[in-house]
């Protein structure tokens, strides 16, 4: 599948933004550590900003961005519509959550409900984003059990590193439990990706040129002799992206290193008293690596996906 | 509403495509373009039509554009036993069209009355998700209009009372010079098309995906006569072997003539 840059930016940014909102709301709800109001306000406000940039980016690949509001109407059947609905709804609790740090309220139970709603809507939006891909029967590499967990884990992972970085910048302190949580998420993300790659490499599509045309049999192969046109059709341009495949091994290695292993090492170093560099600098390096890794992971997610329609255009398997 | 209609009628208009008859002339695709360039989903835009202008860096991937109908050519089997099969492919107007249910705006819909799958160009946002959901590659995006386009089964022709009744068939069916395409109600077991499917063992494309396409394909027939009975060579290979017998190098007189003439 052709990796649309706007969609990669959208899924990675909104994943990180919703991830950090969900974790921040959980910290507040369970009172894991005392949140400085200024830190709470800025981290939730910046998270919402990141989500907003992602959502705006996602509309730029549309043929008619100004009609985007119509996408909120078909939540009964469409995961894309559900994603839009949750994305819009999440602004309500997340906005109140953000402002609540500045205006102290005596009604703690209301804040608790706001925290829970923020967690639920943030995770639901990322869940729906992943389901858009995971629900497509036409693409074996997307119609996979691990797609939704990986989207959620990477979103939480990037979001947690972001929260930890802001903690070192705004409060000048660290909360080691957060570091250990990030290390756990990073390890799970890396292992899940390895398991995913192993799984898509070792399974086969039920569809092939024989089922696509109905012409083959056990002793008769079916292969394309002539394409319908001399140039590339929309389908070939959209679904037939193959540039990355020959580099996929190397790109997978880069993904695991930058998304998982390097950030884990840096964040572990931050918990050690011997660190020579300030935690803030280490935090910045960690988030640069993890976000770069997320972009490569998302790009590969598209580039390695093979659409069954390509069976009509010369692909021997998908 | 992109949820599928709950009170769908039994009428399922669609096509039956006979792969035994199709000669791969592309007339169906061309007449489809011709009719629909002025029809329900008009215009059907083309880009870089004269070629050579697409990229500034000198690359040119040729002229391209929106077509609802494409004719592919497949080789079935290998070597002497192989067969060339022409394979027209368009929207199959599925009973379980995921292209419709994934649509976030309701622009894609399946008609209750006849099962035709259409796109409303006024509400489509051009997100292209429906083209990802279609296993048959039937939907093509119009870069100029910013909306998705697809086969309408010539909805503006098959119900058009200004036309003679005999002309109220899709453009691809009307134009096929070989009669490889039939149009009718596949929901009615007694219709001509349903009987044709029954008689010839018509089948679904990619049945494993469970989209339950309405359009059916008829398989190429097995050869009815043995070519040897007709005095024809069994294969091109044996014909070439025979031709070899008259090669000058195998005939002493011709060899002598060849030697004389070659001086």
The partner residue sitting opposite A70, judged by closest CB among B78, B102, B123, is: B123
Question: Which of A 234-293 lie inside 8 A of B, CB atoms?
Answer: 234-235, 238-239
Can you tell me the mean pLDDT for B153-161?
Answer: 96
Write out the two tokens for A136: 């497509």
pLDDT more than 70, % of chain A: 98
* Residue B60: per-residue pLDDT: 64
Question: B93: how many CB neighbours lie within 10 A of its CB?
Answer: 26
Can you tell me the mean pLDDT for B154-170?
Answer: 96
* Per-residue model confidence as pLDDT tens digits over A65-91: 999 999 999 999 999 999 999 999 999
User: A287: closest CA among A186, A158, A150, A170?
Assistant: A158
Indicate the pLDDT class of residue B236, thresholds 50, 70 and 90: low
Q: Is A288 left (phi over 0), alpha (psi -120 to 50) or beta?
A: alpha
Can you tell me the mean pLDDT for B210-227?
Answer: 88
pLDDT more than 70, % of chain B: 85
Which residue on chain B is closest to A134 by alpha carbon?
B133
Half-sphere exposure of A220 (CA within 13 A, CB side): 18
Chain B nearest-CA distance from A260, in A, is: 30
Q: What does the alpha-carbon distance between residue B136 and residue B133 come to, in Å, rounded to a whole number? A: 9
More confident residue, B225 or A132: A132
Question: What single DSSP character describes residue A260?
Answer: I
Please, are residues A161 and A258 in contact by the beta-carbon 8 Å criterion?
no
Chain B nearest-CA distance from A149, in A, is: 21
Determine, for residues A222 and B129 on separate chains, whether the beta-carbon distance falls below 8 Å.
no
Size of interface A-B (CB pairs under 8 A): 199
The partner residue sitting opposite A77, judged by closest CB among B2, B85, B124, is: B2
Best B29, B67, B78, B132 member to test A by mutation, with max A CBs in 10 Å, is: B132
Determine, for residues A138 and B73 on separate chains, whether the beta-carbon distance falls below 8 Å.
no
Q: What is the DSSP string of chain B?
A: --SPPTT--S--EEEEEETTT-----HHHHHHHHHHTTSTT----EESTTSS-S-TTS-----EE--S-EEEEEEES-GGG-EEEEEEE-----SS-HHHHT-SSS-EEE-TTT--EEE-TTT-----HHHHH-TT---EEETTTTEEE---TTHHHHT-TTS-GGG-S-HHHHH-TT--EEEEETTSTTSHHHHHHHHHT-B-SSGGG----S-EEEPPPPPSS-GGGGT--S-HHHHHHHHHHTSGGG-HHHHHHHHHHT-
Residue the block writes with tokens 């009604």: A107
Q: Which residues of B touch A73 (CB under 8 A)?
A: 104-106
What does each C-alpha distance from A258 to A4, A191, A254 come to in angstroms?
Answer: 21, 14, 6
* Residue B263: per-residue pLDDT: 77
Checking if the pLDDT of B214 tops 80, the result is: yes
Checking if the pLDDT of B9 tops 90, the result is: no
Residue the block writes with tokens 């012409």: A215
Compute the mean pLDDT over every residue in chain B, rounded to the nearest whole number. Answer: 89
* Residue B249: per-residue pLDDT: 60
Residues in Cβ contact with B69 at an 8 Å cutoff, skipping those fewer than 6 apart:
B28, B29, B32, B33, B88, B89, B90, B151, B172
Determine, for residues A213 and B63 on separate chains, whether the beta-carbon distance falls below 8 Å.
no
Write out the two tokens for A143: 């119609």
Indicate the pLDDT class of residue A317, thresholds 50, 70 and 90: confident
Which residue on chain B is closest to A207 by alpha carbon?
B206
* Per-residue model confidence as pLDDT tens digits over A2-25: 888 899 999 999 999 999 999 999
Can you tell me the mean pLDDT for A126-152?
Answer: 97
Chain A nearest-CA distance from B147, in A, is: 6
Which residue on chain A is closest to B69 by alpha carbon?
A228
Determine, for residues B123 and A214 on separate chains, whether the beta-carbon distance falls below 8 Å.
no
| A199 and chain B in contact, CB less than 8 A | no
Q: What is the three-class DSSP state of A223?
A: strand
The partner residue sitting opposite A309, judged by closest CB among B129, B135, B219, is: B135
Determine, for residues B104 and A225 on separate chains, whether the beta-carbon distance falls below 8 Å.
no
Q: How far is CA A13 from the centre of its chain?
A: 8
Chain B nearest-CA distance from A205, in A, is: 10
CA dihedral A110, A112, A117, A118 (to 10 degrees): 110
Chain A nearest-CA distance from B50, in A, is: 12
| Lowest pLDDT segment from A113-122, A178-187, B243-252 | B243-252
* Per-residue model confidence as pLDDT tens digits over A204-228: 999 999 999 999 888 899 999 999 9
Best A229, A311, A314, A316 member to test B by mutation, with max B CBs in 10 Å, is: A229
* Residue B52: per-residue pLDDT: 65
* Consecutive H or E run containing A241: none
Residues in Cβ contact with A265 at an 8 Å cutoff, skipping those fewer than 6 apart:
none
Burial call A143-172: b when 16+ CB within 10 Å, e when fewer: ebebbbbbbbbbbbbbbbbbbbbbbbeeee
User: A309: closest CA among B133, B32, B150?
Assistant: B133
Chain A nearest-CA distance from B47, in A, is: 11
CA dihedral A122, A124, A127, A128 (to 10 degrees): -110
Q: What does the alpha-carbon distance between residue B44 and residue B137 come to, in Å, rounded to a whole number? A: 17
* Per-residue model confidence as pLDDT tens digits over B13-38: 999 999 999 999 999 999 999 999 99
| Lowest pLDDT segment from A103-112, A290-299, B54-63, B68-77 | B54-63
Question: Which of A 43-102 lie inside 8 A of B, CB atoms?
Answer: 61-65, 67-68, 70-74, 76-81, 84
Chain B nearest-CA distance from A296, in A, is: 21
Burial call A99-116: b when 16+ CB within 10 Å, e when fewer: ebbeeeeeeeeebeebbe
* Residue B238: per-residue pLDDT: 67
Checking if the pLDDT of B56 tops 70, the result is: no
Indicate the pLDDT class of residue A131, thresholds 50, 70 and 90: very high
Paired sense of beta strands B181-185 and B70-76, if any: unpaired
More confident residue, B242 or A183: A183
- Partners of residue B140 on adjacent β-strands: B149
Half-sphere exposure of B17 (CA within 13 A, CB side): 28
Can you tell me the mean pLDDT for B167-180?
Answer: 97
Q: What does the alpha-carbon distance between residue A166 and residue A272 come to, in Å, rounded to a whole number? A: 19
Question: B116: how many CB neighbours lie within 10 A of its CB?
Answer: 22
* Per-residue model confidence as pLDDT tens digits over A31-48: 888 889 999 999 999 999
Please, are residues A156 and A19 in contact by the beta-carbon 8 Å criterion?
yes
| Lowest pLDDT segment from A5-9, A190-194, B127-131 | A5-9
Chain B nearest-CA distance from A127, in A, is: 16
Which residue on chain B is closest to A306 by alpha carbon?
B132
CA dihedral A135, A139, A140, A144 (to 10 degrees): -30
Question: What single DSSP character describes residue A224?
Answer: E
pTM to 2 decimals?
0.90
Determine, for residues B220 and A215 on separate chains, whether the beta-carbon distance falls below 8 Å.
yes
pLDDT more than 90, % of chain A: 82
Compute the mean pLDDT over every residue in chain A, rounded to the nearest whole number. Answer: 93
Paired sense of beta strands B140-142 and B147-149, if any: antiparallel
Can you tell me the mean pLDDT for A260-266?
Answer: 97
Checking if the pLDDT of B244 tops 80, the result is: no
- Partners of residue B119 on adjacent β-strands: B108
* Residue B159: per-residue pLDDT: 96
Write out the two tokens for A215: 């012409």
Determine, for residues A213 and B64 on separate chains, whether the beta-carbon distance falls below 8 Å.
no
* Residue B254: per-residue pLDDT: 74
Question: What single DSSP character describes residue A271?
Answer: T
């Amino acid at each position: 599948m052709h990796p649309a840059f706007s969609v990669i930016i959208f899924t990675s940014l909104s994943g990180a933004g919703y991830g950090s909102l969900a974790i921040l709301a959980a910290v507040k709800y369970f009172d894991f550590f005392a949140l400085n109001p200024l830190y709470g306000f800025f981290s939730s406000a910046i998270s919402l900003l990141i989500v907003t940039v992602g959502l705006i980016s996602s509309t730029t690949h549309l043929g008619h961005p100004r009609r985007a509001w119509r996408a909120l109407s078909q939540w009964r059947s469409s995961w894309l519509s559900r994603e839009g609905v949750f994305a819009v709804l999440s602004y309500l609790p997340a906005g109140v959550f953000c402002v609540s740090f500045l205006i102290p309220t005596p009604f703690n139970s209301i804040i608790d409900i706001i925290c829970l709603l923020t967690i639920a809507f943030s995770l639901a939006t990322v869940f729906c984003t992943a389901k858009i891909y995971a629900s497509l029967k036409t693409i074996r590499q997307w119609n996979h059990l691990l797609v939704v967990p990986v989207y959620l884990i990477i979103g939480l992972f990037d979001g947690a590193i972001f929260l930890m970085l802001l903690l070192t910048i705004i409060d000048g302190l660290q909360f080691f439990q957060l570091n250990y949580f990030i290390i756990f998420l990073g390890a799970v993300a890396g292992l899940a990706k390895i398991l995913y790659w192993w799984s898509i490499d070792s399974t086969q599509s039920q569809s092939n040129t024989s089922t696509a045309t109905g012409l083959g049999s056990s002793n008769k192969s079916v292969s394309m002799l002539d394409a319908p046109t001399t140039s590339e059709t929309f389908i070939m341009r959209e679904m037939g992206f193959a540039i990355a495949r020959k580099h996929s091994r190397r790109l997978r290695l880069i993904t695991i290193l930058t998304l998982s292993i390097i950030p884990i090492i840096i964040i572990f170093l931050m918990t050690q008293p011997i660190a020579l560099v300030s935690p803030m600098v280490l935090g910045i390096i960690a988030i640069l690596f993890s976000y770069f890794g997320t972009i490569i992971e998302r790009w590969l997610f598209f580039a390695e996906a093979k659409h069954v329609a390509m069976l009509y255009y010369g692909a021997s398997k998908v | 509403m992109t949820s599928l209609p709950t009170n769908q009628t039994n009428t399922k208009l669609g096509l039956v495509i006979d792969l035994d008859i199709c000669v791969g002339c592309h007339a169906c695709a061309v007449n489809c373009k011709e009719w629909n360039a002025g029809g329900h989903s008009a215009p059907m835009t083309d880009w870089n039509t004269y070629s050579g202008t697409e990229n500034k860096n000198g690359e040119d991937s040729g002229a391209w554009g929106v077509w609802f109908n494409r004719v592919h050519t497949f080789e079935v089997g290998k070597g002497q036993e192989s067969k060339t099969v022409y394979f027209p492919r368009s929207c199959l107007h599925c009973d379980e069209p995921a292209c419709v249910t994934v649509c976030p705006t309701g622009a894609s819909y399946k008609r209750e009355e006849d099962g035709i799958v259409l796109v409303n160009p006024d509400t489509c946002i051009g997100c292209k998700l429906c083209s990802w959901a279609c296993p048959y590659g039937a939907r093509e995006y119009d870069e100029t209009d910013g909306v998705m386009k697809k086969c309408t089964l010539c909805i503006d022709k098959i119900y058009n009372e200004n036309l003679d009744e005999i002309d109220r068939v899709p453009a691809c069916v009307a134009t096929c010079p070989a009669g490889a395409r039939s149009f009718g109600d596949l929901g009615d077991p007694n219709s001509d098309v349903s009987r044709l499917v029954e008689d010839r063992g018509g089948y679904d494309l990619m049945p494993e995906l469970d989209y339950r396409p309405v359009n059916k394909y008829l398989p190429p027939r097995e050869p009815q006569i043995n070519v040897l009975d007709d005095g024809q060579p069994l294969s091109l290979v044996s014909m070439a072997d025979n031709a070899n017998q008259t090669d000058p190098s195998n005939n002493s007189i011709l060899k002598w003539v060849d030697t004389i003439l070659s001086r």
